[in-house]
Amino acid sequence: MSNNKKKILITGAAGFIGAALAKKLIKNNFDVVGVDNLNEYYDVKLKKDRLFEIKKTSINFPSNQWSFYSHSIEDTNKLLEVFNKERPNIVVNLAAQAGVRYSLSNPSSFTKTNVVGFGNILENCINYDIENLIYASSSSVYGGNQALPYRETQSVDHPVSLYAATKKANEMMAHTYSHNYQLPATGLRFFTVYGPWGRPDMAPILFAKAISRGEFINVNNYGNMKRDFTYIDDIIEGVYRCCLKPATSDENFNPFNPNPSSSYAPHRIFNIGSSNSIDLSYFIGLIEKYLEKKAKIKLCPLPKGDVVATNADSSSLNLWIGFKPTTKIEEGIQKFLKWFKEYYS
C-alpha cells in the first residue's frame, strides 16, 4: 500500500502504543512527528528508552524523518507551533492521562489532557486540513454494561470511572467536528493491551515484578475477573491500517434508528480486541509457568471504577480494514516475559 510519503503526527509517542506505532510507520516509509510530555505518571526512564528505540529504527531507515517534541497537548501554543512547523497529513492521538483508579485521586489531570487537550487536537486538525484523524478511545466506555461481548452498537451511557467518561467525551467531540467540518475521524476502543515495552502500572508488569521478587499480588474481585487481553502487535496493525483508510460517512445510516458506531458524518468507532476473554487466574498461571515461580496471591474486593469482565466483538473492524487480532495469549505472554526478563534483568 503506497502512502505517497505522508507525514504522521503521533501524540503520546513515548507511550506503549505510540512508540510501537512510530516504529511501524517509520519502517513503512512515513515521516513521523512525535509529541509527548514525558509526565511522571509512571517511570520516565521507560518512556525515554522507548524513544531511544524509535531513534534506532529511524537510523536504519534514514530516508524517513523522525522528529520529537516534549510538549503537552493541553498547551495550546506549543501544540500550535508543532502543527505550524511540521504540517502533518495524518494525526494519531494517543496522548491521554491513563489509569482508571488514578482518576479517582487526580481528576483534574484527566479533564485537562483528555478533554481540553483533545479539543486542541481537533482545532488544529481543522485549521491545518488534516486528512485523517485516528484517536484512542477505550473499552472502559462500556462501563456498567454487562452484555458481553461488547459491540459498538451498544449504549455507552453508563461509565463507571472519570477516565471512561473522558473517553466517551472524546468520541462525541470527534463526531461533532466530523459533522461540522467533514473531518474524517476514527475512534478505536482498545481492549487491555499488553506486550513488550508495556505500561508498568498494568497487571502484566505488576504481576511479573511481584512474582519475580516473591511478593504478594493483589487479585481484585477475589479472582473473579476476565479480560480481553490484546497483544501490542495486533493493536499496531489495526491502527496502521486505519491510518491508510480514513473514515467515511455511512450511506446506510438511519437517523430514525441511529447506529452509535457510524454516522452521516465521516466518523467511525471500532472495538479493537482479541475477542477472547481470559480468566485472570489463567493469565496469572501463564506468568507463573514462564517465570517458573508461584504467585503469592492476596484476594481483594473490586475497586471503584473497575469492571468484572471485558470481551470485544471486533467483527466491524475486521470488515473495515480486513484484519483481526490473531496472537494467542500463550504466545503473547511468552514474548512479553522474554522482554521483561531482558529489560528488568
Residues acting as catalytic residues: 163
Q: CB of 308 within 8 A of CB of 224? A: yes
Q: Among 39, 22, 157, 43, which Cα is nearest to 96's?
A: 39
**3 state SS of 135:** strand
Taking the alpha carbons at both ends of the chain, their separation in whole angstroms is 39
With residue 231 as reference, give the H or E element that holds it.
strand 230-231
Sequence-distant (6+) residues with CB within 8 A of 49 are 343
State the Cα–Cα distance between residues 326 and 205, nearest whole angstrom: 22
Write the single-letter amino acid at 240.
Y
CB 305 within 8 A of CB 286: no
Cα distance between residue 123 and residue 221, in whole Å: 41
